[in-house]
Amino acid sequence: MIRLEKFDKSDFDRLINWIDSEEAMIQFSGPIFNYPITHEQLDKYINADNRLVYKAINIDSSEIIGHAEINNIDNKNKSARICRILIGDKQNRNKGFGKKIIQELTRIGFSDLQLHRLDLGVFDFNHQAIKCYKDCGFEVEGLLKDTTKMGDEYWSIYNMSIINQDK
């Protein structure tokens, strides 16, 4: 259904166009970028250590439909963080692509990178994403309250993880 390929400079404009507001940017990336996202920010982003950045491609149509990342790769402790998951165009949402992306990132983390633990953060109001992550085997570890200020309100984040039972 999907395949992940390296995200590079040719993908910058597409990602920038998908992020059409500061709120969408914060939901996608947390504090890593300043709105609006620029080529300079993305250059720094893709060249950071311990980070694998992907574009998600719909195998059936060859259309680039999303973005995904494995970050904070820690080979000593055999752990990493899945983050910045995005299905870009709204017409591609609610079709199972997000679940396939998470499953592929988990496969990469556990099989290719030989990691023991993967974790992720998700805003507590993003019920659809939380369900997706649970369906993929992630468990809620805890709630980090009021971590992100958006406008006049604060958002809380669940930390979720999955352990490689084969390691």
- Computed on alpha carbons and rounded to an integer, the radius of gyration of the chain in Å comes to 15
Residues 121, 91: contact at Cβ < 8 Å? no
The yes-or-no verdict on residue 12 having pLDDT over 70 is yes
Architecture of domain 2-118: 3-Layer(aba) Sandwich (3.40)
pLDDT number for residue 81: 98
Q: Where are the domains positioned within the chain?
A: 2-118
Rounding to the nearest 10 degrees, give the CA dihedral for residues 51, 18, 157, 42. Answer: 30
**pLDDT digits over 80-133, tens only?**
999 999 999 999 999 999 999 999 999 999 999 999 999 999 999 999 999 999
**Residue partners of 25: CB distance under 8 A and separation at least 6:** 19, 33, 35, 36, 37
**Residue partners of 158: CB distance under 8 A and separation at least 6:** 121, 122, 123, 124, 130, 140, 141, 142, 143, 144
Question: Length of the chain, please?
Answer: 167
The yes-or-no verdict on residue 58 having pLDDT over 70 is yes
pTM (predicted TM-score):
0.96
pLDDT number for residue 128: 95
**Residue partners of 44: CB distance under 8 A and separation at least 6:** none
**Residue partners of 2: CB distance under 8 A and separation at least 6:** 56, 57, 58, 59, 65, 66, 97, 100, 101, 104
- The Cβ-side half-sphere exposure at 52, using a 13 Å CA radius, reads 17
The yes-or-no verdict on residue 167 having pLDDT over 80 is no
